[in-house]
Every structure is written in C-alpha cells, then in structure tokens.
Chain A
Amino acid sequence: MSEAAISGSAGGPSAPPASLVQAHLVSATIFLTLAAVPLMGFLGPEGFILPLVTRMMILALAAIALDFILGFGGLISFGHAAFIGIGAYVAGIMITEGQTDALAILPVVLAVSALFALVTGIICLRTSGVYFIMITLAFGQMAFFAASSLAAYGGDDGLTLWDSASLFGTGWLADDRGLFYVTLAVLIAGFALVQVLVGSRFGRVLRAAKENDRRTASLGFDVFRIRLAAYVIAGMVAGVAGFLLACQSEFVSPAAMAWQRSGELIFMVVLGGMGTRNGALIGAIAFVALEHFLSDLTHDWKLIFGPLLVVIVLFSRGGLAAALVRLTKGAVRV
C-alpha cells in the first residue's frame, strides 16, 4: 500500500535535457551565492553569519544524503541523524584522544558509519513500509542511548572538544572562514556524488525499485543489495556531515542524534521537494533560515513551527522546488 502511495508524491526525475541545464544553473547559483557569503558584510557580523551558514551547509549535506535514499530510493529512514551523531562522536573521541589529523579521522568516520549502516541496513531492509520507518527510528534511538552511556566521553552531557582537527597541517578547520570553505567544498562534492549516482545505472535501478520493487526484482536486479548499497552510501555521507558538525560546534552530544533531529532532516527534504535535483539543498537552507528567523521572533518559536509543518504537509505538494517551478511558470526547473 505504502509503495504506491510514496511514489505518488515523488517529483518527476525524468526531466528533459533543456531543464537539466536549468537545474544545473540553479545549483550553480546556490553554490556561488554560498561562496560569496563571507563577502556579504550586510548580512551581519562575520562571527555570527559564517557559523550559521556553515551549519546550513552541514545539514544540507546530511539532507542530500537522506534524499538519496528517501526521495530517489523511497526508503523512509527515520534514523538518519544517528549517522551525523556517529560521525561527530568518532571525530570527538579521536580528537579527545589526541588524534587531530582530519585525514586520520575521516577514514574512521567513514568506516564506522558504513559499518553501522551495513549492520542496521541488513535488518531494516528486510522490512518495508511502516516497519521500515519504525525500525530505523528504533536503531537511531539505540545509537542515541549508546552515546548517552559513554561515561568516559561526557555521557548525557556531551563532550567538549578542547582541540580542533587539522587538515594538511593547517588550522583551516579551527577558523570560521576556513571551515566555511572546507564545508562548502565537501557539500559540493557530496552533491555531485549523489547527482552522479542518481544518474548512473545503479541510481536508475534504485529509482525503479522505488516505483515498483517486484517488477525491478523480476527484471533480475537484486533490489535488497542495491538498497543496502544506497543506505550505506547515505550513511557515510551523513557521517562526514557529523564530522564537520563536530568541528563547527567544538562540542559533541547525544542530542545531535535525538530522533527529533531525524524528523527535522526528513522535513528539510520534504520542504525542499524530495527526489529533485536541488530540493534537499534548498530545503535545508530554508529550514535553518526559518528556524533562525522564528527563534529570533519568539522564544516559543515551536508554537509557530509545529503548525507550520502541519500546514506545509497538508497543503504543499512537491515542496519549494515545485513551488519555484510553478511561480516562474516553468521557466525555472529545479
């Protein structure tokens, strides 16, 4: 039942070439604007705006990873924040133990996220529909409690990082501007990776399995393996986002993988328009901006944010990406 229902709300991935160029233009505009943010003094003091936009880009990276399995794979993972947390904790623990070289930390981040994704994926992907949502939620919660009980590394209270990671022996990751550009570079790389994967044979099979997994299986594809591979890739990319988050906040806590964070990641993807080229990117940026704007407005911003979420779900189909297309009467494709 859910398979058919899910595919009903998808943005059409089969875009003609002309709109493909336009979609590339949209992505290029977004990335160029982001790159120019440190030059835009009018946005506010640099010490405030750079961390905010860096956080936007980190969450955008995680949202893009999630959209790969959610929008293109039809797998509603409600535990994606666990991978952010795993990446952050691996980085936090290694830095605390004195290993600050990013080139040593990153492989471990990738390996641990991949391992967690592989083990949980093998179990989660045996189920489907609502079971899949709940079991990913439960595994996310398991990671949360595991992190909370790491008494040696802060437990419930989290872990403050007294040292920051170094990249090629430089202090880029410790500096607002340096971290900003490193994050932007990683975001573009992650974005490009997902684009290439979605367009590849592997991505086509993944999308086909979302539309109709039985038919795809009967064509001779191993749907389980394809989905598992996608799940692991999405987990690894989110793990890298977690590593960047640890560098950015200089603090790691179980709160980063609370299930509410996973819900917010899904919301970013849906807000932007899932299964579209730029949707997750736009959604994450819009989400952080909205959150920031509302929390400036009132301390009880969730009183507005909650109902807004309900209204968006009830009345907007296809998210901001579809709205942008409608607004420009199809002149812009996202």
Chain B
Amino acid sequence: MQDDLVRSSGRRETIAPAFFGCDRAVSTTLILVQILNGLQLGILLFLIAAGLTLVFGVMGFINLAHGVQYMVGAYFAVAFYGLTGNFLAAMVLALASALVLGLLLEFLVFRHLYDRDHLDQVLATFGIILFLNQATIVIWGPAPLIIPTPDFLSGSIPLTGGLLYPVYRLAIIGAGLAVAALLWFIVTRTRLGMLVRAGATNPDMVSALGVDVRRLFMLVFGFGAMLAGFAGVLSAPIFSVEPGMGDNLLIVAFVVIIVGGIGSIRGSFIAALLIGLVDTLGRSLATDILKLFIDASSANQIGPAIASMLIYVLMAAILFFRPTGLFSVGRAT
C-alpha cells in the first residue's frame, strides 16, 4: 500500500537526478511536491488512525478490522459511483453504508469483546479481516477497480518551477484538515467530546457518573468506522481499489497511534503528518542521500530497503525514549 501511494504520486523518478543536481529552483519544487504528497499520505493516515485511537482510548478495544473499514469505504464508493454516476452522491451513500456496516459489526461481534483481553480482540477482529477481504473478492472480483476523479476537482494547478499538481490531491489535504478541525471542535468544545475525553481517562468513573457507556461506545465506534470509510472514499479515485488494500495501511496507522500516544487525537494528527512526510520523503531521497556516502550501485540496492524501514526505525527511536508515545493519555497499559 505504501508502495502504491508512492508509485501513484509518480514523482519518484523525476526527483532522483534533480535533487542533488545543479538546478536549485527545480529541486526545491520537487521537494515541495514530495512534501505535498507526504501531507496527503499523512492526512489519509490520520483519518484512519483517528478512529483507531478513539476506539482504543474510549473502549480499550484494539480493532484490527479498522483497515477493512477503509477498504470497504473505497469499494462502496466504487459501487455507488457505478449506480449514480456522481462522486458526491456516491460519497454520501458510501459514508452511510460504512456507518451501517460499522454499527452492524459492533452489534454482532465487537460489543461481546469489550470485556475480553487484548488477545481475544486481536484474534476475533483478525477473523473479520479474513472474512471481509474474501467477501470483497467474491463480490467485486480480485482485479483492482478505479473511479474517475470528480469533474469539479479535476485538473492541476501550477507550482513554482512549472510543475503541475493535481487539484484533487490538494482537495484531499483540505478535506482532511477540515475533518481534523471538526474533530478538534467536537472533542474539546462539546459535551460529547468531554465524555469521550473523560472516557479515555477513566471509563469506570464515567459509567459510575450515570453516562450510558454502551451508547457512547456505539457512537464513537460508528464515527471511527465512518472516518476510515471517508479515507477510503477519498483514496478511491487515486489508488487502485483492491482486496486487502487496508491491511498494510492499518499497520502504518498503528505506527501512527503508537508514536502519537494511544488515545490522543492531537498525538495521532501530529504523528500521522510526521509519518506521512518521513515515509514519502524517505522513499524519494534515501537513495540519493546514500549516494553521497557510498557508491551508486550499493546505494540503489540499500536505499529502497532503508526507505521502507524508516518509519519503523523512527517509531522504535521514539518509543525507546518515550515508551507510551509523544502525547500519552495515560491509560493504555
């Protein structure tokens, strides 16, 4: 998936000769493009990680099937686009369906797991991944699907140095930032958000104070599922929609919430952007930076390997100094 993200950005080849070349203006532009790509990956990661960290923070529930919600969102977008021919209509319908599916899974399986230990949660949600991945193959086939970029967001805008950047990718960044702002508002400024924060710190106390925790759980869970579905819908026009597309992104989302501190929305926002940037820039620059120190053919061998491990090394380094992440809420042990 990460590879897909980079491949689809389509800039990796062009940046290699230019970066340490003589033309400074061009290389600055290319780095700007990579930064935008990194932000866009970070935003998608945030949409997935936000739900994951909320669900864990409030319910102490570790949900591996969250990545599948992302995949299902993308598939719903494809399906409803086929029916309506309108991207916005498809998005609304896909979000509603993602919400319904999330609530259905919560009702059928997840609510029976809240009191179980993490091991049971991991295994049961792993079973759901197997089922839903196979179900998408049965329903939509194993071949990747794609939907066109919506008309009103097609086209590109010029950056400095004469490079064009697709409007749709900028729209993803904008939409993600808008969601982040909305989340910030809900979590810090509303009564519901207050309950969520309180639940993340001390769920027993919240329950003892007379809050219907079950309903709070369902709300949070449905919201998280919808956010992941939203990320899926957004990525449907730019990445190929295929079975298992959420699996590897889920692991990266885990890295995000570990680095950010489990349960912290602010932490996952910052960590998502950090991971998105490090991953994207690492993949485009690692080989060139290595070439400064070792010969070109070894650099070509080692560069991609180092680039693909970079975010895990970063995570290890952060956890070594802060075992509970950057912005720990103080519950997840």
Q: Which residues of A contact B (CB under 8 A)?
A: 1-2, 5-6, 8-9, 70, 76, 78, 120, 123, 126-131, 133-135, 137-139, 141-142, 145-146, 148-152, 259-260, 263, 266-267, 270, 300, 302-303, 305-310, 313-314
Contact = CB atoms under 8 A, between A and B. Distances in A.
B309 A145 contact: yes
B130 interface: yes
Interface string B172-185: 00000000000000
Contact of B119 (A9, A146, A260, A310): A9
B150 interface: no
A129 B212 CA distance: 27
A130 B56 contact: yes
A240 to B, nearest CB: 25
A9 B120 CA distance: 10
12 contacts: A1-B333, A2-B118, A137-B251, A142-B312, A145-B312, A148-B308, A151-B301, A266-B123, A303-B138, A313-B123, A313-B127, A314-B113
Nearest to A307: B131
Contacts of B307: 149
B304 interface: yes
Given A1-B333, A131-B323, A263-B64, 18 more contacts: A6-B117, A123-B320, A130-B62, A130-B118, A131-B332, A138-B254, A141-B251, A141-B312, A260-B126, A263-B126, A302-B133, A306-B127, A309-B124, A310-B124, A313-B116, A313-B123, A313-B127, A314-B109
Contact of A2 (B117, B251, B323, B324): B117
Given A259-B251, A313-B127, A303 B319 contact: no
A138 B254 CA distance: 8
B290 to A, nearest CB: 13
B81 to A, nearest CB: 26
Contacts of A260: 126, 247
Contacts of A138: 251, 254-255, 258, 312, 315
Contacts of A308: 127
A266 B127 CA distance: 12
Nearest to A308: B127
A258 B145 CA distance: 24
Contacts of B238: none
Contacts of A135: 258, 315-316, 319
B122 A9 contact: no
B278 to A, nearest CB: 14
Contacts of A303: 131, 134-135, 138
B35 to A, nearest CB: 23
A9 B257 CA distance: 27
Contact of A149 (B135, B308, B324): B308
Contacts of B309: 142, 145-146
Contact of B62 (A1, A126, A127, A133): A133
A158 B313 CA distance: 24
A47 to B, nearest CB: 29
B94 to A, nearest CB: 23
Contacts, number: 151
Interface string B293-312: 00000000100110111001
Contacts of A149: 304-305, 307-308
B123 A267 contact: yes
Nearest to B312: A142
B254 A134 contact: yes
Given A300-B137, A305-B130, A126 B319 contact: yes
Interface in B146-189: none
Contacts of A76: 118-119, 122
Q: Is the interface of B mostly helix, strand, loop or mixed?
A: helix
B112 interface: yes
A123 B325 CA distance: 13
Contacts of A1: 60, 333
Contact of A302 (B130, B262, B313, B315): B130
A127 B130 CA distance: 28
Given A149-B308, A300-B138, A313 B333 contact: no
B43 interface: no
Contacts of A126: 319-320, 323
A141 B109 CA distance: 27
Contact of A266 (B122, B313, B325): B122
A300 B120 CA distance: 24
B129 interface: yes
B96 interface: no
A76 B128 CA distance: 19
Contacts of B135: 303
B12 to A, nearest CB: 14
Contacts of A78: 122
A142 B313 CA distance: 9
A112 B17 CA distance: 36
A306 B128 contact: yes
A260 B56 CA distance: 21
Nearest to A70: B119
Given A133-B122, A138-B315, A306 B258 contact: no
A128 B319 CA distance: 11
A278 B319 CA distance: 36
Contacts of A134: 62, 254-255, 257-258
B262 A130 contact: yes
A174 B138 CA distance: 38
